Amino acid sequence: MSSRDIKCIVWDLDNTIWDGVLLEDREVSLKPAIASIIDTLDKRGILHSIASKNDSELALAKLAELGLEHYFLYPEIHWSSKSSSIRAIQKNLNIGFDTMLFIDDQSFELDEVDNEQLGVICMHADHYKDLLNDPRLMPRFITEDSARRREMYVADQLRKSEEMQYEGPSEQFLASLDMQFTVNLATENDLQRVEELTIRTNQLNSTGITYSYEQLVQLIHDPDYALLVCELTDKYGTYGKIGIALVKTTAPTWHIELLLMSCRVMSRGVGTLLITYIMNQAKLHNCKLQAHFIDTGRNRMMNISYRFSGFTVKHDDGNGRYLFEHSLETIPSYPNYVMLEAPDLLSIERLEEELYGLS
């Protein structure tokens, strides 16, 4: 049984969310307490979707009648295999298969998904009442971002819909979103979300190292470190806090000890913006810049991001641990389709003095 946190539950419908078979029975009714369970998990930041062999129009109408339709992102309701439905949901949500839980009342369907070896966790519908006490569905903190996670994905569906209809160049579409990327030094109010990001972010994570709230409190009060938090907004609303960087800012060489970005913004072209900002800050302080990278088997994109930004390997221990270095002679320009709001001209030391009273 996986110990990873579950990010999304994929539900069957017949005899799973409701008792009965929609196309055979005169009436179906919700399973006891199912609505409350789905709502509670939604408030914890757990996403929900559907993989059901059913008539899509009838099923969605029944979910609307039961007051549940709005909870389910990218529902797959058709007659194809459940594994193909889960693949489509995973692609749309851009999360790991091993962070998905599939619930069905049919052993055949559970076996079909399990035999595809996607890494999806499978559970029989008989055990749905155990969900609220499952530690994989009990985040340590429920942050502002996690509580509104579904709303942010709904906004992202609107963005994707507009993008599919857009006929011009991709950079023109990105410019049409009126994106603003904000970088700030983290405060204690940010740290629950920062801890959550280190735990939940896998693909765009430079080391895979997690940091507890208590460790983060110590770091933001340490004058040798700058903990940066990023937020992205556009005309549809906020993506929330989607990136962090932990930088050791002692002369003569700065070290990026952790850099991560939520996969939700991968298609927005802002992945290297934070790296570029840190490079400019290091050059402003007349310091060299190095970055740590640990190959976790899932974070190849972050390795590529460093190299694409002009970093070269200074040391390779042969076991997946790299030390990158940048000459800072040529720093990539910021993309012109996003507005950056960051303390470009202020020293990090001055900002820390203002925020934390450090000297």
pLDDT at 167: 87
For the chain, domain boundaries: 8-137, 169-356
- The pLDDT of residue 216 is 97
Task: Give residue 34's pLDDT.
Answer: 98
Q: Which residues contact 6 (CB under 8 A, 6 or more apart)?
A: 46, 99, 100, 101, 121, 134, 136, 137
- Give the Cα separation of 353 and 351 in Å (integer): 5
CA gap 202, 112 in Å, rounded: 27
Residues whose CB is less than 8 angstroms from the CB of residue 263 and which lie 6 or more positions away in sequence, other chains included: 94, 95, 201, 203, 204
Distance CA 257, CA 194 (A): 14
Residues 6+ apart with CB under 8 A from 216: 186, 191, 194, 195, 227
Instruction: Please state at what angle helix 213-220 crosses helix 191-200, rounded to 10 degrees.
Output: 120
Compute and round to an integer the Cα radius of gyration of the chain.
Answer: 22
Contact 286, 253 (CB under 8 A): no
Cβ atoms 224, 165 nearer than 8 A? no
Under DSSP, the state recorded for 205 is B
**DSSP for residue 271:** T
Q: Which residues contact 72 (CB under 8 A, 6 or more apart)?
A: 11, 48, 49, 50, 63
Give residue 78's Cα distance to chain centre: 28
Nearest to 226 by CA among 113, 313, 351, 47: 351
Q: Is residue 185 classed as helix, strand or coil in its secondary structure?
A: strand
Phi first, then psi, for residue 289 (nearest 5°) are: -135, 125
Q: Which two tokens stand for residue 67?
A: 């007051």
Token pair 């309701």 in the structure block, residue: 77
- CATH node for 169-356: 3.40.630.30
pTM of the model: 0.78
Q: How, if at all, do strands 121-124 and 321-326 pair?
A: unpaired
* CA atoms within 13 Å, Cβ hemisphere of 62: 22
Which CATH number is associated with domain 8-137? 3.40.50.1000
Q: Which residues of the chain have pLDDT under 70?
A: 1-3, 344-359
